[in-house]
Structure 1
Protein backbone atom coordinates (compact mmCIF):
# COMPACT_ATOMS: atom_id res chain seq x y z
CA UNK A 1 0.00 0.00 0.00
CA UNK A 2 1.15 3.52 -0.71
CA UNK A 3 0.98 4.63 2.96
CA UNK A 4 3.44 1.97 4.14
CA UNK A 5 6.83 3.30 5.24
CA UNK A 6 8.69 5.10 8.01
CA UNK A 7 7.00 8.11 9.58
CA UNK A 8 8.74 10.73 11.68
CA UNK A 9 6.53 11.60 14.65
CA UNK A 10 7.32 14.74 16.65
CA UNK A 11 5.61 15.74 19.89
CA UNK A 12 6.08 18.96 21.81
CA UNK A 13 4.76 20.48 25.00
CA UNK A 14 5.89 23.03 27.58
CA UNK A 15 8.50 20.58 28.93
CA UNK A 16 10.28 19.86 25.65
CA UNK A 17 10.20 18.20 22.28
CA UNK A 18 11.01 14.69 21.05
CA UNK A 19 10.90 12.79 17.76
CA UNK A 20 10.89 9.13 16.75
CA UNK A 21 10.85 7.16 13.50
CA UNK A 22 7.86 4.82 13.42
CA UNK A 23 7.67 2.00 10.84
CA UNK A 24 4.11 1.57 9.52
CA UNK A 25 2.91 -1.43 7.51
CA UNK A 26 -0.51 -0.90 5.93
CA UNK A 27 -2.16 -4.16 4.85
CA UNK A 28 -5.65 -2.89 4.01
CA UNK A 29 -7.88 -0.01 4.99
CA UNK A 30 -10.32 -0.54 7.88
CA UNK A 31 -14.04 -0.08 7.71
CA UNK A 32 -15.68 3.03 9.17
CA UNK A 33 -15.58 3.47 12.96
CA UNK A 34 -18.62 2.37 14.91
CA UNK A 35 -20.60 5.16 16.49
CA UNK A 36 -21.81 7.04 18.10
CA UNK A 37 -19.12 9.72 17.90
CA UNK A 38 -18.67 11.22 21.36
CA UNK A 39 -17.44 14.81 21.73
CA UNK A 40 -16.17 16.06 25.10
CA UNK A 41 -13.94 18.77 26.54
CA UNK A 42 -14.96 21.19 23.78
CA UNK A 43 -13.11 24.50 23.75
CA UNK A 44 -12.67 27.25 21.15
CA UNK A 45 -9.56 25.61 19.66
CA UNK A 46 -9.83 21.90 20.55
CA UNK A 47 -12.05 19.04 21.64
CA UNK A 48 -11.78 15.36 22.58
CA UNK A 49 -13.31 12.79 20.19
CA UNK A 50 -14.04 9.13 20.94
CA UNK A 51 -15.61 6.26 19.00
CA UNK A 52 -15.59 2.48 18.91
CA UNK A 53 -13.15 0.62 16.63
CA UNK A 54 -14.46 -0.58 13.25
CA UNK A 55 -15.84 -4.10 12.93
CA UNK A 56 -13.45 -4.73 9.98
CA UNK A 57 -9.98 -3.66 11.15
CA UNK A 58 -8.35 -4.15 7.75
CA UNK A 59 -6.37 -7.09 9.07
Structure 2
Protein backbone atom coordinates (compact mmCIF):
# COMPACT_ATOMS: atom_id res chain seq x y z
CA UNK A 1 0.00 0.00 0.00
CA UNK A 2 2.82 2.41 0.79
CA UNK A 3 4.39 1.93 -2.64
CA UNK A 4 1.16 2.80 -4.44
CA UNK A 5 0.67 5.84 -2.22
CA UNK A 6 4.24 6.98 -2.91
CA UNK A 7 3.79 6.46 -6.65
CA UNK A 8 0.57 8.46 -6.59
CA UNK A 9 2.26 11.25 -4.66
CA UNK A 10 5.08 11.39 -7.18
CA UNK A 11 2.63 11.49 -10.10
CA UNK A 12 0.73 14.33 -8.45
CA UNK A 13 3.94 16.26 -7.79
CA UNK A 14 4.97 15.90 -11.41
CA UNK A 15 1.53 16.95 -12.66
CA UNK A 16 1.50 20.01 -10.41
CA UNK A 17 4.98 21.04 -11.56
CA UNK A 18 3.97 20.67 -15.21
CA UNK A 19 0.78 22.64 -14.62
CA UNK A 20 2.71 25.44 -12.93
CA UNK A 21 5.25 25.48 -15.76
CA UNK A 22 2.45 25.71 -18.34
CA UNK A 23 0.65 28.50 -16.47
CA UNK A 24 3.86 30.50 -16.15
CA UNK A 25 4.49 30.15 -19.88
CA UNK A 26 0.93 31.34 -20.60
CA UNK A 27 1.42 34.31 -18.30
CA UNK A 28 4.68 35.25 -20.01
CA UNK A 29 2.98 34.95 -23.40
CA UNK A 30 0.19 37.27 -22.32
CA UNK A 31 2.64 39.76 -20.85
CA UNK A 32 4.59 39.89 -24.13
CA UNK A 33 1.53 40.52 -26.29
CA UNK A 34 0.04 43.08 -23.95
CA UNK A 35 -3.59 43.28 -22.92
CA UNK A 36 -6.11 41.87 -25.32
CA UNK A 37 -8.23 44.33 -27.29
CA UNK A 38 -11.02 45.55 -25.10
CA UNK A 39 -9.42 44.26 -21.91
CA UNK A 40 -10.37 46.49 -19.04
CA UNK A 41 -12.84 48.36 -21.19
CA UNK A 42 -16.41 47.53 -20.50
CA UNK A 43 -19.58 48.81 -21.96
CA UNK A 44 -21.55 50.89 -19.49
CA UNK A 45 -24.12 48.63 -17.97
CA UNK A 46 -27.77 49.44 -17.68
CA UNK A 47 -27.29 49.95 -13.95
CA UNK A 48 -24.23 52.12 -13.68
CA UNK A 49 -23.02 54.03 -10.64
CA UNK A 50 -26.02 56.35 -10.70
CA UNK A 51 -28.42 53.48 -10.10
CA UNK A 52 -31.23 51.93 -12.08
CA UNK A 53 -33.64 54.84 -11.60
CA UNK A 54 -31.27 57.65 -12.52
CA UNK A 55 -33.10 58.40 -15.77
CA UNK A 56 -36.40 58.90 -13.94
CA UNK A 57 -35.69 62.35 -12.57
CA UNK A 58 -38.61 64.64 -12.07
CA UNK A 59 -41.20 61.93 -11.54
Q: TM-score, normalised by structure 2?
A: 0.19
**Structure of greater Rg:** 2
Q: Which has the higher contact order (CA 8 A, sep 6+)?
A: 1
Choose between structure 1 and 2: higher helix proportion.
2
Choose between structure 1 and 2: higher strand proportion.
1
Q: TM-score, normalised by structure 1?
A: 0.19
